[in-house]
Amino acid sequence: MNIIEKIMAKASGYKHVQPDDIIEAKIDKAMMNDITGPLAVKTFKDMGGRKVWDPERVIIILDHLVPANSDQSANLHRILRTFSKNQNLKHFYDVGRGGVCHQIMVEKHVMPGEMIVGADSHTCTYGALGAFATGIGSTEIASVLLRGRLWFKVPKTINILFSGNLNPLVAPKDLILYITGQFGADGATYMGIKFSGEVIRNMSIEGRMTLCNMVVEMGAKNGIVEPDDKTSKYLINRKRVPFEFITDDLDAHYDHVVEYDASNIEPMIACPPSVDNVKPVSEIGNISIDQALIVSCTNGRLEDLRIAAKIVHGKKVKKGVRALVIPASQEVYNEAVKEGLIETFVAANILVCNPNCGPCYGGHLGLLASGETCVSSTNRNFIGRMGSSDALVYLASPATVAASAVKGKIIDPRSLN
């Protein structure tokens, strides 16, 4: 079996599973946020729920509308505060205590080999630590809250192998955009994606999170990287021990293997109106921007902020362009302050906001007006995703976003003088 099958076998109590098997798996952790959580709570009560199956394993994180921007969002927060208190949940992240849900989960909760579900499609991020993690709906989360179990079909798995080396200013975001362009928005529907090869072994946990985060944009069920020494170091530094690594059997089977030479990949960009409309930034032409964003569960981490700060250091955002940086968590924000990154952003006329999902969700902060164009480090560029349905959103790496903010138009970061 491969790593995905082995995790699912363990969770369901079987010695062996194979693609298309239907299993019922024990859930190790269940996450919900301020958008998906209130409906889950209502459904839980409608189903007769009184106590969650395990208050240690339910995590609630306020992140989409933080701080509350209306009485409606304030009421959503109150529903979850009340539920958390009544259920005696051990892990509730209120305003100022957490950040973007997927960042917090990896920072605080995810362990290799676990079976994790979250009421948010980008829950697949957690595969960066060698867990099986997938997004589910609010009503499914309600069922998990009751029983601690959920049924799955074992997915077929694609092994995506990266050889070679990343070129300067080419980031994991460029790799996943390139892959999405190759596969298409439905090219991996209900399949597991495993990332492997020399490039992945050399990649940070943060970079692996970016890759796993966006597999859902190809329709995949989950993304995963086999745990290794980098995983061990990450967990030990966070005092999350002991842990058990699940890895491929030597004769592990994959539906198919796809190999790419990372040395041939340059900075990429996803053009509106879909994530799979991908081309090299060098071929984008002359596109002026109104807004630049470095945010989200995809690219709001410390290494993202570092590269952006390096690019804008000593420069200013182009007049007529507004730029926002939103650290993915309180921890990331704090480290960015210590390293002087926030000072660099402020000096460049970049607005630094509190940790939250921001304009990625289209519900809070930095929304676009009709006819405006944005280049963003987020993960989706659907029509109306970030405000007006007449606005345009381009997706790129933090390096490309930062360089574009300085020039006032979308540019290849390698061309910035």
Give tens-digit pLDDT for 166-196.
999 999 999 999 999 999 999 999 999 999 9
CATH number of this structure's domain 4-8+22-261: 3.30.499.10
Specify the pTM: 0.96
Largest CA distance in the chain: 63
3-class DSSP state for residue 250?
A: coil
Per-chain mean pLDDT for the chain: 97
Give ranges for CATH 3.30.499.10 in the chain: 4-8+22-261, 270-415
pLDDT confidence bin for 363, thresholds 50/70/90: confident
**What percent of the chain has a predicted confidence (pLDDT) above 90?**
98
Instruction: Report strand pairing: 268-270 vs 278-280.
Output: antiparallel
**pLDDT at residue 364 above 90?**
no
DSSP 8-state secondary structure symbol assigned to residue 218: G
CATH number of this structure's domain 270-415: 3.30.499.10
**pLDDT at residue 5 above 90?**
yes
Instruction: Report strand pairing: 115-118 vs 132-135.
Output: parallel
Cβ atoms of 73 and 35 within 8 Å: the answer is no
DSSP 8-state secondary structure symbol assigned to residue 153: E
pLDDT confidence bin for 224, thresholds 50/70/90: very high
Bridge partners, 133 (sequence order): 116
* pLDDT tens-digit series, residues 105-152: 999 999 999 999 999 999 999 999 999 999 999 999 999 999 999 999
* pLDDT tens-digit series, residues 246-297: 999 999 999 999 999 999 999 999 999 999 999 999 999 999 999 999 999 9
* pLDDT tens-digit series, residues 29-83: 999 999 999 999 999 999 999 999 999 999 999 999 999 999 999 999 999 999 9
Q: Of 108-117, 215-224, 359-368, where does mean pLDDT reach its minimum?
A: 359-368
Closest C-alpha to 58, from 75, 76, 40, 77: 40
How confident is the model at residue 417, as a pLDDT?
74
Q: Which long-range contacts (CB under 8 A, 24 or more apart) does 250-257 make?
A: 252/1, 252/2, 252/3, 253/1, 253/2, 254/2, 254/157, 254/158, 254/159, 254/194, 255/19, 255/156, 255/157, 255/158, 255/191, 256/158, 256/159, 257/158, 257/159, 257/160, 257/161
How confident is the model at residue 361, as a pLDDT?
87
**What percent of the chain has a predicted confidence (pLDDT) above 70?**
100
